[in-house]
Amino acid sequence: MSNSFLSRLFHYVILASAKHGIDDSHGLRHSMEVLHYADKIYKSEVSSIPLLKNQDRIIYAAAVLHDMCDKKYMNEGVGIYEMDLFLQGADYLDIRGQPDGRLMNDQDINVVKQIVSTMSYSKVKRDGFPYLGPYQTAYHIVREADLLSAYDFDRSMIYNMNVAGVRVDEAYANAKSLFETRVLKHNEDGLFLFDYSIHKSQKLHHKAVKRITDWNRMLKRAR
């Protein structure tokens, strides 16, 4: 996989984030973090699932682009459409491609779109896991990478302060409620399938609980 492939993906995230008002909690830094988690899960599974060897570009593209159609910031259909144009190599958002412009073939693009449009926590809780045939493992890799990134308590506060425009104490309360009802129950809800994700999420769980305690202490002291 060439550096230009990832460079173009991240360039798209920067420009699409600016266009749609996607804040730091779901922008470039988050895309990078999900990519790193996806890569670690991929490396832990590829030796036992050889089919994955030819799906790395799909996994990386879906990991980087997954929030560029998030309904919290835009119409999901519009985001998917723009993502499709970009992956086909269209001169969209001033991104110019390699000689033929394309980043992926049509089949891979369709898989990326299926992954990013079905992997959100709310859709999984409502509809269950989709069936993506030979790409099922790739789907779960990206989905679980995103869930692991959700353990970042500060990220949840940042979203509340940027999008909802609330004060830091309100952002803390909203984030704490989200963690108590959702994030800290990921394992309990059976959302992790891979060994790497299960073990990593347990460590992140404890880190998040400590972060919540530290914020509570600081906010009380600052009152």
State the Cα–Cα distance between residues 68 and 188, nearest whole angstrom: 29
**Domain enclosing residue 212, as ranges:** 153-222
At 32 the pLDDT is 98
Q: Tell whether 147 is covered by a domain.
A: no
At 101 the pLDDT is 76
Q: Tell whether 191 is covered by a domain.
A: yes
At 223 the pLDDT is 78
Q: Which of 103, 119, 135 is the last residue of a domain?
A: 119
SS3 50: helix
* DSSP assigned state of 119: -
Check whether residue 52 and residue 102 sit in a common domain.
yes
Nearest-CA neighbor of 197 among 184, 182, 186, 206? Answer: 186
Q: Which of 119, 143, 166 is the last residue of a domain?
A: 119
At 164 the pLDDT is 85
Check whether residue 92 and residue 14 sit in a common domain.
yes
Q: How many domains does the chain have?
A: 2
Contact (Cβ atoms closer than 8 angstroms) between residue 137 and residue 100:
no
Q: Tell whether 161 is covered by a domain.
A: yes
CA triple 39-57-138, angle to 5 deg: 65
State the Cα–Cα distance between residues 19 and 218, nearest whole angstrom: 35
Q: Tell whether 134 is covered by a domain.
A: no
Q: Tell whether 135 is covered by a domain.
A: no
Check whether residue 25 and residue 87 sit in a common domain.
yes
* DSSP assigned state of 185: G
Q: Tell whether 178 is covered by a domain.
A: yes
Check whether residue 20 and residue 102 sit in a common domain.
yes
Check whether residue 40 and residue 109 sit in a common domain.
yes
Q: Tell whether 157 is covered by a domain.
A: yes
Torsion of CA 30, 34, 40, 44, to 10 degrees: 160
Check whether residue 109 and residue 163 sit in a common domain.
no
Residue range 51-69, pLDDT digits in tens: 999 999 999 999 999 999 9
At 99 the pLDDT is 41
As a whole number of Å, the CA-based R_g of the chain is 18
Check whether residue 22 and residue 96 sit in a common domain.
yes
Q: Which of 119, 141, 166 is the last residue of a domain?
A: 119
At 95 the pLDDT is 47
> DSSP of 48-112, one letter per residue?
T-GGGGG-HHHHHHHHHHTTTT-TTTS-HHHHHHHHHHHHHT---TT---STT--SS-HHHHHHH
Check whether residue 108 and residue 11 sit in a common domain.
yes
At 89 the pLDDT is 85
Residue range 102-161, pLDDT digits in tens: 899 999 999 999 999 999 999 999 999 999 999 999 999 999 999 999 999 999 999 999
Q: Tell whether 142 is covered by a domain.
A: no
Specify the pTM: 0.93
Residue range 172-217, pLDDT digits in tens: 999 999 999 999 999 999 999 999 999 999 999 999 999 999 999 9
Check whether residue 10 and residue 113 sit in a common domain.
yes
